DNA sequence: ATAATTTTTGCAACATAATTGCATTTGTTT
DNA sequence: AAACAAATGCAATTATGTTGCAAAAATTAT
């Protein structure tokens, strides 16, 4: 099955009504090579949307598996597009994230797969996040 | 070189003055098998220290490489002891963290080493965080 | 197309988390 | 024990995130 990837189709496919904020924020993710924080989105949409709307839009997208959160060692919450859309709730996002210590950009390294981790007995693995930090190819 | 690991020695070795809050918080980490959030520390020290003091103590310990932060998928910031003390700034903490979806405990799986990740050209790796989530051996 | 219905948005209020400046207290050095 | 340096606690401030509800927008039915 071939799925269209226009913004409209993505929203429709996920049973979401097509609104300005959703269109704009989703477009922003498609144009961005990397991850975005709430504050980034606020700025880059020129503050045309309420903070609350952005929070809710992000949450909706996460719930639908359109974007995913990236764990970071500092406090910040980052979001990035899921390359292959995940089914609702069952999110699997098995690529490595890279955060540049210099320019602070976050990359989804889609071609670097997450290695297997063997856990001690009794531990049941659901999800693995790998976050590498260092200097990116731009800053090098 | 053998390093003493009493609380006093750890503080001294890191050129930190020995204060009540630092002694208590460091002791708490040594007694805790796992990670602690700011709120945990506040509770477990019986609220004898100001919130701000705890923030500053944690930051100091991170700067000195005595503890490290753990990236989590949700927002929360967790801290855990570095097993081998890291040199200031150059932090390497190559074990896997496990977060239980059920009881929410975070484990430092010291014996599960972080697998090698090969990055694309131009990317320079400094640190790798692996966070596995699922069900722990207690909740299973 | 228009009206009815559902969903989303923006505002206000609230709650929590984290940071900063400064006077006081505590720890360290002389 | 005094002088000095560093850390603490308080108050104020900023940042971050949540909730309820009326108004606005989108979807569905007519």
Q: Which of residues 107-126 of B touch strand D (CB under 7 A)?
A: none
Residues A4-52 pLDDT 10s? 689 999 999 999 999 999 999 999 999 987 889 999 999 999 889 999 9
Distance CA(B28)–CA(B48), nearest Å, equals: 13
Specify which residue's alpha carbon is closest to the C1' of nucleotide D10: B50
CA distance B2 to chain A (A): 30
Contact status, residue A120 vs residue B112, Cβ threshold 8 Å: yes
Which of A108, A118, A119, A136 should be substituted to probe chain B, the one whose Cβ sees the most B Cβ atoms within 10 Å?
A: A119
Q: Which two tokens stand for residue A105?
A: 């950009």
Whether the CB of A48 is less than 7 Å away from nucleic strand C comes out as yes
pTM above 0.85, yes or no: no
Classify residue A87 by its DSSP letter: P
Residues B56-111 pLDDT 10s? 999 999 999 999 988 876 768 899 987 755 444 444 556 788 888 877 778 888 78
- Pick the residue from chain B with its C-alpha nearest to A77: B75
């Amino acid at each position: 099955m071939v799925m269209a990837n226009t913004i409209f189709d993505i929203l429709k496919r996920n049973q979401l009504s097509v609104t300005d904020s959703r269109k704009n924020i989703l477009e922003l993710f498609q144009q961005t090579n990397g991850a975005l924080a709430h504050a980034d989105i606020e700025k880059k949409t020129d503050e045309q949307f309420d903070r609350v709307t952005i929070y809710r839009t992000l949450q909706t997208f996460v719930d639908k598996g359109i974007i995913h959160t990236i764990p970071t060692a500092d406090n910040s919450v980052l979001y990035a597009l899921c390359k292959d859309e995940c089914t609702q709730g069952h999110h699997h996002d098995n690529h490595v994230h890279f955060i540049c210590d210099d320019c602070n950009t976050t990359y989804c390294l889609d071609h670097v797969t997450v290695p297997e981790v063997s856990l001690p007995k009794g531990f049941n693995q659901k999800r693995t996040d790998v976050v590498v930090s260092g200097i990116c190819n731009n800053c090098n």
